[in-house]
Structure 1
């Protein structure tokens, strides 16, 4: 709609006294509609106050006042009017309105607690099973508080027994109880901690310690958000908490239900349920969860997974079996007299007896909390096997602590073998790094954030006391902290692997490379920042070492004088690489060439680009630089064979990008190389194997091939002469086609039409063999076909012969010559004679 100009509004805002100066009647503005101000949306508002009329009239009377379609700094006129002081607008201030309208009432937000609690619990946690982790962590905190306070107040320990946690399931009643002998709670603490959602007693305790400057390294309390207790409602409908604080003479019981917004607290009066100190939490499980969470084996696994390294012993009530000897009466055999009552013979037999007892669930101790100098190799190996369910000792281990921006302890392992059933070397969902906060398991699913996926084979634990977690304690909050941890973990991992490679036992690194070498090559592709750490760990075969892998350091150390680069060639096997024509001149110079025989090798080296200032050069690409050059000779050869190269290019057409003289051949007549930015034969083969390969890019890369000729070879010299004599000679052109196809195969490429290539070879063989040997005659008179002789009574009687052939027939020891028809030959005593 219409809006005022910037100058008009600015004057009105800066000089409100001008508004008060309008005392004389002012003609209504033509921009009113029925005494109502037209707003920006085209609607009408209530009639404005007189002061508003004055303002609008004053603005309208301005020579550059209201103009259709003009906006002033994007602020509508009505909005700019509201920017004026309240006194100028003729409006009362907020205080004046409050005073005139009466006293102000203050209200607080209301919430339906049962629904709010349900939302909190089911939105925070992604897995039901974490309730046990939370309750055990709470119990551990209670024990830690008692241990800390008892340093100054030993009387708090009293006769409450050892500091421990016990878990007791009951299938019949569908309950599970978590008991601890910790600090317990008074009635007031019950109300504060369990009656107030998101208020943490542990957080209060830590704050009090900090305020009193008494907090030390021994206070490893876990809780901080005040919602962990309510995770019990994930699996239970009702919770009963019975607690006794050593500071109080009374024991109190707290009862709450998931669908109720209230709870009750009562004093425990049953003498059988009185405890010296501590807390007992009994969960009345939901129907669908009773079977799962009253199973002792299931509870044992959960404790081992989440709370294995809690500082206090955790016991689970479970059924056990034992073999016992029981007496049985020895009944007399038939016919024997029964012995007197006191003289009966007693026999025993072994029976299996079931009983219930407490079983320690967290017997494995967190060795990362100890000094690495105090831990033996056997302890590291035993910890590895128990924690990761392995049966073989690890190949290597590293134990370290870090301080600074992030403080954490860690133990990392390199397995001895590849995990069975592993299909993807770069699975980002590996769960081999277990993150703990204050020895409580948090997560092992980081999707490659805490540890790169190419090192997913590394197993270990990371424990910190001050990681920023979300409320459910399932995710790290700050990515900066994760990056710092990742950097330090990577550094220690590379040092550990390097230690294996430098070990005197070469078999260890050979074993590592066989299992995880591809992972390191993938790391070169994905992790550019760590190339310097990954490159020394790589291993390849070479032309000087076809049976044993060598490192890049070994290659560089053995480089010949004048060699400026690291040469490599990608192939599908050492056998095919060894016989490739690309190697001929390099081998003459005794230059070593790396054989990249695994599919990932070529991409790995291309990403590495250089090592110790030595560039990697693919010897299958054009413009191979081998150092020394004889420019004068090259000039002569180029002058001689340039027309020949042009002739071949004209005939081959789009099959090659160009034809040029080669400096890499010595015994082969030609070779087909890739362009600088084209695919090698090995890469082309890999791209063809891709299910979703791009055929258009493949055709483009294929057109970048370069045909190189050896000017010293007899075939090339002969074809050069043919080119000069008759460029259109069909035999010479066929020879070029065959030469190209042969080079295609010897260079590692795949011919487009193998059948056509076979026909060309047969045709050339026919031409080459013509007249070499006399062809056999096809005249029937010269064909002699003899049938086997027939032997009767040990004597050769006759042979079947052709009519024109005379054979001697031996009968009764004498030879007689005769010409016979085949049908006339009969043998004595033969069936036909009879």
Structure 2
């Protein structure tokens, strides 16, 4: 027996929001089924919780499930659950009125928006939930009875401004939402939501890990033509992240990793965590064992998926993982976010920022543990992802110390293995308080650089940094564990004693400066278009000259990188350093002191500068002129 029908109007702002939803502000209409299944799952959760304290509800909570029913002739799709259900008052409060604080402002912003994408993001910040059904249905019928009550309620609306509501007897506990679907329209992007394959695809994408079974009756035709009906469970319900780690096998972890990453190699590390308190979430993250081919492509995005209460929200959630950890794969399942959460609002959500900080610390902590407990495995991970991790030294100042401990670099100590900064510090010579490094395009180029000569002769270890990102982070990080990082190709390098172990006395130094007092300013003037200063060097033992930068100059490699990216920066003039004991330099000084106007002196100066430039792998400004001068000079010696 049913009661009389009462027709009510939606609240004014509700009508406006419904109109926006119905007229395709959402580009992806598939989310309507995600929303309805999520509502059904919540209803089952609530019934389970209430039955724990109310024994009279135990019989009504048997076999909890969600059923999807399709009627092709009537063109209806029904989402049914045997959860907590609703009273008439619940329906009027929850569905008849959705005006909340800020709704008016939301609608105003939508009106001001000029494009659909912006409007969709704005709508995504507001929980439309049940109302997304009107994107695909021209009428919705809802039947419900709350557990513990005798009378149910029927609710119907076409979403145009009013809804009808009446009491109805004989309804089971729970809720059924029947959508009278609009016609299929390929031009409008309206899919066939009566199709079994389409329903399976949506459930698999969005609701596969819902804890309750999602069932659907399907027809099967046998070889003899006979038709039978079977009930299939469409979702796996295997949310590994929601289970204790002790109950999950390594095979299950690997299988899940392969499913979300499409990588058939096992991960190098699995991170399973649960956060409890004011904001609860679970996370299951994986560090791959091999870098994807597009790791350094501009289009590459972080690989962490966001779920809310086991319902899929989005792939590649940039708000959860920084760019330098984009290789990390996995899922984060939050308990307290709105399902209709947009990427824009995630970027500014305080709780999401807290999750991100903790996830980053967990990933970096796992790498530190691997580094200390399994150096060989860590070396392989660093080989694959070290370049990306070093980007964090530029982007993530909060974790600089941890990232520095993870850095592993080639060095002059051992050509066959890399070293950490901690290991470098432990091997430092007595009295050494500086960590020396040199950047370059390759190990061979760095090892053969003139800048290495005096440092190598003294027995100091030098880090060999050949990744492009090394040019950037070493300038952002002044020190490690109290030890300054210094490039041996920049600034003044004070190596203390001479290479034979004796300190040069002041008298000898003063005499040397006096000997070259005339040549150095002359060379500075002669090479003024190429260098800003010519001075004597303490870093050379066998080469005649080298080119160095001031302490805060941009390196030539970094200058090239900026120009390659289309960023014009002023050309940086560098410093030419001369080895005062080299025969070429002493001969040049003698010739200059004998006849400063000899035109050959200028040619020799250009050759000295060009040779130093080539020795560090630089590009000659005029290769043809350099080659001609060199050939002429060689011819005169024969």
Contact 2:143 / 2:152 at 8 angstroms: preserved in 1? yes
Q: 1:197 to 1:480 in 2, by over 3 A?
A: closer
1:743-822 correspondence runs (5 A)? 743-769=612-638
Q: Residue 23 of structure 1 aligns with which residue?
A: none
Q: Residue 82 of structure 1 aligns with which residue?
A: none
1:409-808 correspondence runs (5 A)? 409-424=282-297, 427=300, 429-430=301-302, 432-444=303-315, 446-447=317-318, 449-467=319-337, 469=338, 475-476=345-346, 479-504=349-374, 506=376, 508-628=377-497, 629-632=503-506, 633-688=508-563, 690-694=564-568, 697-699=569-571, 701=572, 703=573, 705-769=574-638
In structure 2, how many angstroms separate the alpha carbons of the residues matched to 1:191 and 1:693? 60
Q: 1:318 to 1:574 in 2, by over 3 A?
A: farther
> Secondary structure, in 3 states, of the residue corresponding to 2:162?
coil
In terms of mean alpha carbon deviation, does 310-319 or 744-753 score higher?
Answer: 310-319
1:360-375 correspondence runs (5 A)? 360-375=233-248
Contact 2:412 / 2:464 at 8 angstroms: preserved in 1? yes
Q: 1:463 to 1:673 in 2, by over 3 A?
A: same
Q: CA deviation at 1:557?
A: 1.6
Q: CA RMSD in A?
A: 3.2
Deviations 1:471-508 (A, max 9, x none): 658744963323322221111111111122223360x2
Contact 2:48 / 2:61 at 8 angstroms: preserved in 1? no
Q: 1:756 to 1:433 in 2, by over 3 A?
A: same
Per the normalisation by structure 1, the TM-score is: 0.66
Structure with larger Rg: 1
Q: CA deviation at 1:252?
A: 4.8
Q: CA deviation at 1:533?
A: 0.8
Q: 1:545 to 1:464 in 2, by over 3 A?
A: same
In structure 2, how many angstroms separate the alpha carbons of the residues matched to 1:181 and 1:232? 20
Q: Residue 123 of structure 2 aligns with which residue?
A: none
In the alignment, structure 2 segments of 5+ residues that lack a partner are 1-8, 101-125, 498-502
> Secondary structure, in 3 states, of the residue corresponding to 1:657?
strand
Q: CA deviation at 1:527?
A: 1.1
In structure 1, how many angstroms separate the alpha carbons of the residues matched to 2:537 and 2:59? 94
Deviations 1:491-542 (A, max 9, x none): 1111111122223360x22332232112111110111121101011112111
From 286, 290, 293, the equivalent of 2:193 is 293
In structure 2, how many angstroms separate the alpha carbons of the residues matched to 1:235 and 1:360? 24
Q: CA deviation at 1:152?
A: 4.5
In the alignment, structure 1 segments of 5+ residues that lack a partner are 1-107, 200-224, 269-273, 327-351, 770-834
- Residues matched between the structures, number: 595
Deviations 1:293-344 (A, max 9, x none): 233333223223332332211123446577x6x6xxxxxxxxxxxxxxxxxx
Deviations 1:658-694 (A, max 9, x none): 1111101111111122223323333334344x14131
> Secondary structure, in 3 states, of the residue corresponding to 2:291?
coil
Structure with bigger RCO (C-alpha 8 Å, 6+ apart): 2
Q: CA deviation at 1:709?
A: 1.0
Q: 1:724 to 1:168 in 2, by over 3 A?
A: same
1:198-237 correspondence runs (5 A)? 227-237=128-138
Contact 2:156 / 2:163 at 8 angstroms: preserved in 1? no
Q: Residue 163 of structure 2 aligns with which residue?
A: 262
Q: CA deviation at 1:757?
A: 0.9
Contact 1:540 / 1:595 at 8 angstroms: preserved in 2? yes
Q: CA deviation at 1:246?
A: 5.1
In structure 2, how many angstroms separate the alpha carbons of the residues matched to 1:411 and 1:666? 55
Q: Residue 61 of structure 1 aligns with which residue?
A: none
Contact 1:125 / 1:472 at 8 angstroms: preserved in 2? no
In structure 2, how many angstroms separate the alpha carbons of the residues matched to 1:477 and 1:422? 23
In structure 1, how many angstroms separate the alpha carbons of the residues matched to 2:487 and 2:268? 35
Q: Residue 108 of structure 2 aligns with which residue?
A: none
1:140 aligns with 2:38: no
In structure 2, how many angstroms separate the alpha carbons of the residues matched to 1:109 and 1:231? 16
Contact 1:426 / 1:453 at 8 angstroms: preserved in 2? no
From 391, 399, 405, the equivalent of 2:272 is 399
Contact 2:533 / 2:575 at 8 angstroms: preserved in 1? yes
Deviations 1:585-611 (A, max 9, x none): 111111111111121112122212211
In structure 1, how many angstroms separate the alpha carbons of the residues matched to 2:434 and 2:30? 58
Q: Residue 128 of structure 1 aligns with which residue?
A: 29
1:83-162 correspondence runs (5 A)? 111=12, 114-119=15-20, 127-156=28-57, 158=59, 162=63
Q: Residue 113 of structure 2 aligns with which residue?
A: none
Q: CA deviation at 1:261?
A: 2.1
Q: CA deviation at 1:638?
A: 1.0
Contact 1:198 / 1:226 at 8 angstroms: preserved in 2? no
1:166 aligns with 2:35: no
